[in-house]
Amino acid sequence: MPIYNTDIAAVFDEIADYLEIEGENPFRIRAYRNASRNIRGLGYELRYLVDQKEDLTQLPGIGKELAAKIVEILETGNARTLKKLQDRHPKTLRDILKLPNLGPKRVRVLYQDLKIKNLEQLIKAAKNGRIRAMPGFGARTEQQIMQVAEAHATKEKRFKIADVKPHVDSLTKYLEAVPGVNHVVAAGSYRRAKETVGDLDILVTARKNSLVMDHFADYDDVKEVLSKGTTRSSIALHNGLQVDLRLVEQSSFGAALQYFTGSQEHNIAIRRLGRQRGLKINEYGVFKFEKRVAGKTEASVYQAVDLPYLPPELRENRGEIEAARDGRLPKLIELSDLKGDLHIHTDYTDGRNSLREMALAAKQRGYKYIAATEHSDRLKIADGLDAPKLLKQTEEIDQLNEELKGIRILKGIEVEILVDGRLDLADNVLAKLDLVVGTIHHQFGLSLQKQTQRILRAMDHPHFTFLAHPTGRLINEREPYDVDMGQIIRKAQQRGCFLELNANPRRLDLYDTYCQMAKEEGVLVAINSDAHIVNALDHIHFGVGQARRGWLEKNDVLNTRPLQELQKLLKQTM
Ligand code: DGT
Ligand code: CA
Ligand code: CA
């Protein structure tokens, strides 16, 4: 698993927290906090710099000691300094530190004076009114702490789909190798291609006497066997992901797959349709007067309620059942429909591979075109391009296009949208390009109105092609900025420009529901990888999953167009 800047920053934050709890030197604490803030603000990943053996002490707030720690974290996933600090204190203290309204100063009081070491003790102390008496607290604070602690004690952790996929692949292979096993399918939210997965649901069919449950409990990566039975078992993996396994009979496979794929809301609606027809639908089959009438295949379940097969990505009870009934089901986009990638970075700025390498890798994936879209100058930290450097790159693109056959490199830029909505490069420079990708990497905290106006104004720019990762959210890391997507989608419609669905699994932004809105407004969506390295081109797969959840068809997506047609569409925006 790659280590991201946010992972490094989190280690530094945690070190600072512990140092503060221990009452350490404030300067040392501040150094960690500043470094963490600077690292989070970078527009590119530190691991690229380290891979290229660059000197990290050039970065603001990073001295020799912290630079060495960054390298250590990138290499080992952790820092010895943090491990030592963690060892000195109970593990559960971290749960308390993570609560939003409890800074380390307060945790220090709770821990050292009240001997509170975990969430349960915290909730109990709050209920007993022991916290309000402490200096710096009060009855209201105590009340707030209790509420937040209780919410956190029950809050589930969700995993990014890209972090779950390697486990699905490896578990599937492992279980398929067990003698007597027929089908192994990951169902649940994973099969519906949801951007995050709460737990993983695996469905298995096997011969009667197979030892699949034993093998499941013996899987390498098991941290804990939560339950083990003859038809259902649960394990927890080392990363905390829970995996539920269900073993069903071959004759129930379709019904079970339909049931465990969900969503629950979709299933409730399907069962209602069944009841209207005198049918009982459950994970074992479709029954009429106790007699099984369907359930071997998923399609047979849908057929029993007079519907065509519904792709898993649509099963959210967001109108798919009505659409299926009326023959209006979309023919969802597929990976093979994509003809190119319109958002990539190279070693010209903060990417890892050269433009030539990226282009050849794109060609190898069957693409016909790729757009070089480096960061603009404002993103100094990503070594963003100024006008002369950008023009130099366009010359290199001309040369590569002469030389390389079967793949066309388009000239683009990922240009910063300034706070007032202007773009970070002059019009006459942008006019020389094939596409201009507008983006926000700074000033996330503007009010809803200001942020929306900023983007709307940028979209009015005559050369604006599409808006990159429109909400700016990073899954589990950063909330979207406050922005009115309805207005932005309508603006794109009026202007004839486009929106990106960024396929980076940390982003998956445009969200599925906004894809649906864009489609309704007739705004084309560009599904792009935002790859900074060759392998990341394959993230596009997650973008396609999200697009399918958003009901998008081939024609709703900009980069399914053949090159000439694409160029015509791009010209209209330039
Ligand atoms: P998740 O795990 O939170 O990402 O979401 P899901 O959709 O995977 O939900 P999960 O793991 O609780 O259950 C998997 C599927 O099994 C769910 O999509 C529908 C089905 N299912 C589970 N429990 C129930 C239930 O109580 N009633 C119904 N109708 N279906 C259920
Ligand atoms: Ca699940
Ligand atoms: Ca489950």
Q: Which fold does the domain 159-247 belong to in CATH? A: Beta Polymerase; domain 2 (3.30.460)
Dmax over Cα atoms in the chain, in whole Å? 77
Residue 240 and residue 159: Cα distance in Å, rounded? 9
**CB distance 36 to 16 below 8 Å:** yes
pLDDT tens, 98-113? 887 788 889 999 999 9
Tokens 């006459």 belong to: 428
pLDDT tens, 122-154? 999 999 999 998 988 899 999 989 988 888 777
Average pLDDT, integer, range 527-553: 97
pLDDT band at 83 (very low <50, low <70, confident <90, very high): very high
Residue 507 and residue 448: Cα distance in Å, rounded? 20
pLDDT of residue 382: 66
Q: Is the pTM of this model over 0.85?
A: no
Q: Which residue has a Cα nearest atom 30 of ligand 1?
A: 264
Distance (Å) from CA 485 to ligand 3 centroid: 32
pLDDT band at 95 (very low <50, low <70, confident <90, very high): confident
Q: Which ligand is nearest to the CA of 264?
A: 1
Ligand 1: which of 168, 196, 260 to mutate, judged by most atoms within 8 Å of the beta carbon? 260
Distance (Å) from CA 281 to ligand 1 centroid: 15
pLDDT band at 1 (very low <50, low <70, confident <90, very high): low
* Position with higher pLDDT, 148 vs 519: 519
Mean pLDDT for all residues in the chain: 94
Strands 232-237 and 242-248: antiparallel
Q: Which ligand is nearest to the CA of 263?
A: 1
Tokens 């129930």 belong to: 252
Residue 483 and residue 446: Cα distance in Å, rounded? 9
Q: Which residue has a Cα nearest atom 24 of ligand 1?
A: 264
For helices 139-154 and 119-127, angle between their N-to-C axes, nearest 10 degrees: 140
**CB distance 206 to 181 below 8 Å:** yes
Atom of ligand 1 nearest to the CA of 188: 8
Distance (Å) from CA 158 to ligand 1 centroid: 14
Strands 435-439 and 466-467: parallel
Average pLDDT, integer, range 150-163: 83
Atom of ligand 1 nearest to the CA of 199: 2
Q: What is the DSSP letter of 459?
A: H
pLDDT band at 156 (very low <50, low <70, confident <90, very high): low
Which CATH class name applies to 335-573? alpha beta
Closest among 184, 174, 165 to 218, alpha carbons compared = 174
Q: For residue 377, how many other CB atoms are within 10 A of its CB?
A: 18
Q: Is the pLDDT of residue 199 over 70?
A: yes
Distance (Å) from CA 249 to ligand 3 centroid: 19
Tokens 């209780």 belong to: 150
Give ligand 1 pocket residues (Cβ under 6 A).
188-189, 194, 197-199, 201, 259-260, 262-264, 267-268
Q: For residue 502, how many other CB atoms are within 10 A of its CB?
A: 27
Residue 243 and residue 236: Cα distance in Å, rounded? 6
pLDDT of residue 574: 65
Q: Which residue has a Cα nearest atom 19 of ligand 1?
A: 262
pLDDT tens, 271-321? 999 999 999 999 999 999 999 999 999 999 999 999 999 999 999 999 999
Q: Which residue has a Cα nearest atom 29 of ligand 1?
A: 264
pLDDT band at 357 (very low <50, low <70, confident <90, very high): very high
pLDDT band at 242 (very low <50, low <70, confident <90, very high): very high
Q: Is the pLDDT of residue 168 over 70?
A: yes
Give the architecture (CATH level 2) of 5-154.
Orthogonal Bundle (1.10)
Closest among 314, 344, 285, 318 to 537, alpha carbons compared = 344
Q: For residue 539, how many other CB atoms are within 10 A of its CB?
A: 22
The ranges assigned to domains in the chain are 5-154, 159-247, 252-325, 335-573
pLDDT tens, 374-386? 999 877 666 788 8
**CB distance 227 to 234 below 8 Å:** yes
User: What percentage of the chain has pLDDT greater than the value 70?
Assistant: 99
**CB distance 191 to 261 below 8 Å:** yes
Torsion, Cα 357 360 361 365, to 10 degrees, reads: 170
Which CATH class name applies to 252-325? alpha beta
pLDDT of residue 243: 98
Per-residue tokens: 515: 């894809």
pLDDT of residue 157: 77
Q: For residue 296, how many other CB atoms are within 10 A of its CB?
A: 16
5-154 and 335-573 share one CATH topology?
Answer: no
pLDDT tens, 2-29? 788 888 999 999 999 999 999 999 999 9
Ligand 1: which of 154, 157, 189 to mutate, judged by most atoms within 8 Å of the beta carbon? 189
Distance (Å) from CA 97 to ligand 3 centroid: 29
Which residues, other chains included, contact 173 with Cβ-Cβ below 8 Å and sequence gap of 6+?
Answer: none
Residue 376 and residue 223: Cα distance in Å, rounded? 45
**CB distance 101 to 148 below 8 Å:** yes
133 SS3 class:
coil
Q: Which residue has a Cα nearest atom 28 of ligand 1?
A: 264
Q: What is the DSSP letter of 195?
A: S
Q: Which ligand is nearest to the CA of 159?
A: 1
Q: Which ligand is nearest to the CA of 316?
A: 1
pLDDT of residue 410: 98
